[in-house]
Structure 1
Amino acid sequence: MTGATTAASIWDRERIWVTAGAVALIFLAAIEALAVTTVMPIVSDALDGQSLYAVAFAGTLATSVIGMVAAGAWSDARGPRGALYVAVTLFIIGLLLSGFAVTMHQFLIGRLVQGLGTGGQTVALYVVVARLYPSQLHGKVFAAFAAAWVVPSMVGPFLAGAVAEYLDWRWAFLGVAVLTAVAFLTIAVRLRGVDLGHGEPQDRRALVVRLLLAVVVAVLAVVVGFTAEMEPTIRWPVALGAVLAIGVALLPLLPKGTLRAASGLPSVVLMRGVIAGAFFASEAYVPYLLMERFGFTATWAGVGLMLAALAWAGASDLQGRFGDRLGNRRIVLISVTLVLLALLGVLASALFGAPPVFVIVGWGLAGGGMGLLYPRLTVLTLAYSDETNQGFNSSALSISDSTGSAVAIALAGLGVAALGGGVTAFGAVFVVAIVLALISLVPGLRLGHGAEPAAR
């Protein structure tokens, strides 16, 4: 099935059900991610958890690191099937716990469990792609994954806001849980007869060490988020100490040379984390900004995110078609420029009251930049991998993504709390994001090509 043929397609008879199943999971994960971003201001008010607003995002991303390491090791040792099944089950359980929560802390427990499933699912799907699809189809597969965000991006934020406003915010979680369960049953049947490989023997001691380090990273990232509830005199020392410890704990979980931006795969992995931190720390506060400064309802704040999601999907499709021609350096420069322009527009609205169109259109530019860059980094990761390390490298990419986002969001929440909240404090979030976007150029210009086709 992995042999390259001129007629190979991700929708041919050999792959259609695997492609459809994977796209369905991405679709539902997109619905949930967009829903959470839209309804979190309402959830934090309903459960009296404003000080833990950032933790609701950062905690899920933090525990996803554990899921990523476990799924990567499982996939390398025994194939990705079992890892995928367990991850989807945890995702559903987490949604149910959050949907039925009556306190903010109960809600956060659900989000932490959900993170375990989300992280494992991502890595397992990447390994499925690596095992079943020829390399020339990888760009198209990840473009299809991005396209799975199109319908959610058109209706997801608006629908989540409407559900929270006119029904109850809980259905934004419970509804996705039900749909995921239905899709999961279908996928389990379709994958049963597909050869996903059996993996290779692994060093168990090394795997245990990596898993323990992942737990340390997750716990420390959550600690950073909870510093917003600590006394002002100890908030920043504890947060910065935790961030430094995270950096140390991450070293064995990432390719050698990642934190010093060594060329090739280390820079691919590092850039994913830095640019993810810039984008997702900002996006967590975009709906909040629209509600606080401009009086948007939850429904219309959700609409404000639609353009970004649509632009992400459209740019990802362009990357799948023309990414090799553009080349990695050009893609990086275009993407980072779009993100920076977006952040400047949102910052202008936060600090100087520029019209909300600056936020909505600006965030659309950010979505386009991320859509062009994200699938390219995934393609590069597979290009630098073989069957002995696909799980490790895929999990490293996702670990960097989630850890960078979790730490950036947690620090953003701490900054907002330290400045007393309000729209002025939001400006600090976007300033930090601008700095991170500029820093991402360092690894971004050292990506290399791996085994992918060079730019023509």
Structure 2
Amino acid sequence: MEQPKSIWGSDFRGVTLGIIFVVTAVAFEGLAVTTIAPGLSQELHGGHLYGWVFSAYLLAQLVGTVITGQWVDRIGPAKPFIVSISVFAIGILIAALAPGMLVLILGRILQGYGAGALINCVYTAITIRFDDSLRPQILAVFSSAYILPGLVGPYIAGLIAEHLSWRYVFWCILPFIFMSALLTTPAFRGLRASQGSDPKKGFLPSLLLAAGTGILITGLGKIPSLYGFILSLAGLVLLVFPLKKLLPEGTLLAREGLPATIASRGLFVAAYFGTQTYLVLALTALTGFSADTAGFAVASAAISWSLAANLQARLDKKDQGTGRRKRVLLGLTCMLLGVSATVPQGFITSEGFAFINAIVSQIVMGFGIGLAHPTSGAIAFSHVQDGEGGKVSSTLTVADTFTPAVGIGIGGAMIAMMETLKLSLGLGIFLALALQALIVVTSLIAATRLRGRESIVQSATKAEKW
């Protein structure tokens, strides 16, 4: 009797371990920066650029994602992986040595480009190496790779920042990058897509999208001035065309199928990271918690994310993928509850209540995205055609980077506007968190148009008959 295939079998173990090391390195860096950002922005006198610590990273990640996705389709993930992890490491080094906020943001740009390219290499390896029955398992492992960084990353980063310096956090990431490169590169060698497209075709649209988004975010931060309105409008006009070029047709309208999957995923990922960004700011700047304590609150989401991700893998194996759409909807409902609970943090003055509310809301939100994130990935990969692994991978990563950049950027602009209008920081944080709740509601609406695996299989069967 043939044994069921497993991602830990001898045929898949090398790639599985490689994926874990890459995701762990990128996740540790991302979660650590979330914790130390308030402190570093204060030390470098860049509070007005706080949102750019995250938006610059995410916009560069978008460019790296698109360019590398098409490159990987042509030659496989091995060489792009080596280039990407080198760029990522250089960005870490620049941030560790940054004398001012602008140099630090330059380091974040290189980190973002490298991280986007690395995750694209991982997604493409998943589409090439694993069939549909194994993808929920490997995507659950992908999510679980966040658990160690999620448990210890924010807390340890907070301790280092409190007792030494935030710069040491970046230095500590470099050994993880080295180990990831050493252990992952052999696993990616030999993986090839069946065909590919010219990476130059995605270069200009991705640059225009990043530039347009950056101009939009900058303009929003200058509102209510006329200059701010003009800049915001120019950015919005500039990003519309490349966004339509890079995403599946119908994504902006959440058309049924892959477009709705990408639209919903981009929105709920934006809400997750936006909520964490401004929750940490509320806990440190308003309630007076130390960076390590705020990091502990953020870490609680990673635990429930991992548990839910593994739960969805077991459920997917049991129902053979027929319940994927329902799991995404359930996950987003949980996310909405969790995110909504964080909205009052801008006005909570009790330390005890603020901390308990942060922990509980993060656990609920983490469980929700743990169900929705890997499941939406499995749905998206089920639409992959031959030779389009990198294309769909880059589309997923665009969804994971563009909307968080905009969501966090708009939240930062709201805070900047409150400062310009001489209003309270608490009101700005309240509005930024309320925006994240609205984004989840929109994602939930888009998710009602997802197509589960059973619908995709039926469509494919009909096409074959014709």
- Same fold (TM > 0.5): yes
Counterparts in 2 of 1:266-277, with a 5 A limit?
266-277=259-270
> Which of 89-98 and 242-251 deviates more?
242-251
Offset at 1:237?
3.8
Secondary structure of residue in 2 paired with 1:296: coil
Q: What letter is aligned with 2:429?
A: F
Partners of 1:236 and 1:329 in 2: CA distance: 40
Identity of aligned residues (%): 27
8 Å Cα contact 1:328-1:447 kept in structure 2: no
Secondary structure of residue in 2 paired with 1:313: helix
Partners of 2:438 and 2:144 in 1: CA distance: 29
- 2:214 is the alignment partner of 1:219: no
Partners of 2:107 and 2:304 in 1: CA distance: 30
Which residue of the other structure, out of 180, 183, 187, is the alignment partner of 2:177? Answer: 180
Partners of 1:228 and 1:42 in 2: CA distance: 24
Offset at 1:284?
0.8
Q: What TM-score does the superposition give when structure 1 sets the normalisation length?
A: 0.93
Offset at 1:303?
0.7
- 2:440 is the alignment partner of 1:437: yes
For structure 1, list consecutive stretches of 5 or more residues without a partner in the other structure. Answer: none
Counterparts in 2 of 1:307-326, with a 5 A limit?
307-323=300-316, 325=319
- 2:44 is the alignment partner of 1:41: no
Length, aligned pairs only: 445
- 2:326 is the alignment partner of 1:334: no
Secondary structure of residue in 2 paired with 1:259: helix
Counterparts in 2 of 1:288-299, with a 5 A limit?
288-299=281-292
Q: What TM-score does the superposition give when structure 2 sets the normalisation length?
A: 0.91
Offset at 1:182?
2.6
Counterparts in 2 of 1:46-65, with a 5 A limit?
46-65=43-62
* CA displacement, residues 4-41 of structure 1 (integer Å, 9 cap, x when unaligned): x6432111112212211110111111111110100000
Offset at 1:227?
3.5
Partners of 2:326 and 2:237 in 1: CA distance: 32
Partners of 1:150 and 1:353 in 2: CA distance: 30
Counterparts in 2 of 1:6-405, with a 5 A limit?
6-192=3-189, 195-197=190-192, 199-200=194-195, 202=197, 204=198, 207-227=199-219, 230=222, 232-233=224-225, 234-323=227-316, 325=319, 327-353=323-349, 355-356=353-354, 357-405=356-404
8 Å Cα contact 1:78-1:199 kept in structure 2: no
Partners of 1:155 and 1:441 in 2: CA distance: 31
Which residue of 1 is the match for residue 463 of structure 2?
none
Offset at 1:223?
2.5
Secondary structure of residue in 1 paired with 2:105: helix
Offset at 1:343?
2.2
* CA displacement, residues 104-161 of structure 1 (integer Å, 9 cap, x when unaligned): 0000000001111111111111111111122211110011111111111211111000
8 Å Cα contact 2:21-2:183 kept in structure 1: no
Q: What letter is aligned with 1:336?
A: L
Partners of 2:38 and 2:243 in 1: CA distance: 31
Partners of 1:159 and 1:453 in 2: CA distance: 46
- Cα distance change on mapping 1:450 and 1:331 into 2, 3 Å: closer
* CA displacement, residues 431-455 of structure 1 (integer Å, 9 cap, x when unaligned): 111211111122201110257789x
Partners of 1:142 and 1:425 in 2: CA distance: 36
For structure 2, list consecutive stretches of 5 or more residues without a partner in the other structure. Answer: 459-466
- Cα distance change on mapping 1:174 and 1:415 into 2, 3 Å: same
Partners of 1:286 and 1:46 in 2: CA distance: 20
- Cα distance change on mapping 1:268 and 1:18 into 2, 3 Å: same
* CA displacement, residues 411-442 of structure 1 (integer Å, 9 cap, x when unaligned): 11001110125122100011111211111122
* CA displacement, residues 189-220 of structure 1 (integer Å, 9 cap, x when unaligned): 4444xx30254253x4xx43421010111122
- Cα distance change on mapping 1:304 and 1:352 into 2, 3 Å: closer
Which residue of 1 is the match for residue 407 of structure 2?
408
- Cα distance change on mapping 1:32 and 1:161 into 2, 3 Å: same
> Which of 113-122 and 228-237 deviates more?
228-237
Which residue of the other structure, out of 452, 455, 465, is the alignment partner of 1:449? Answer: 452
- Cα distance change on mapping 1:31 and 1:427 into 2, 3 Å: same
Q: What letter is aligned with 1:339?
A: M
Offset at 1:178?
2.5
- Cα distance change on mapping 1:244 and 1:408 into 2, 3 Å: farther
8 Å Cα contact 2:338-2:364 kept in structure 1: yes
Q: What letter is aligned with 2:215?
A: V
Partners of 1:243 and 1:339 in 2: CA distance: 28
Secondary structure of residue in 2 paired with 1:364: helix
8 Å Cα contact 1:273-1:401 kept in structure 2: yes
- Cα distance change on mapping 1:305 and 1:444 into 2, 3 Å: same
Structure 1 vs Structure 2 CA RMSD: 2.0
8 Å Cα contact 2:332-2:368 kept in structure 1: yes
Partners of 1:394 and 1:272 in 2: CA distance: 13
- Cα distance change on mapping 1:390 and 1:191 into 2, 3 Å: closer
* CA displacement, residues 51-85 of structure 1 (integer Å, 9 cap, x when unaligned): 11101101111111111111110121222222222
8 Å Cα contact 1:345-1:362 kept in structure 2: yes
8 Å Cα contact 1:278-1:437 kept in structure 2: yes
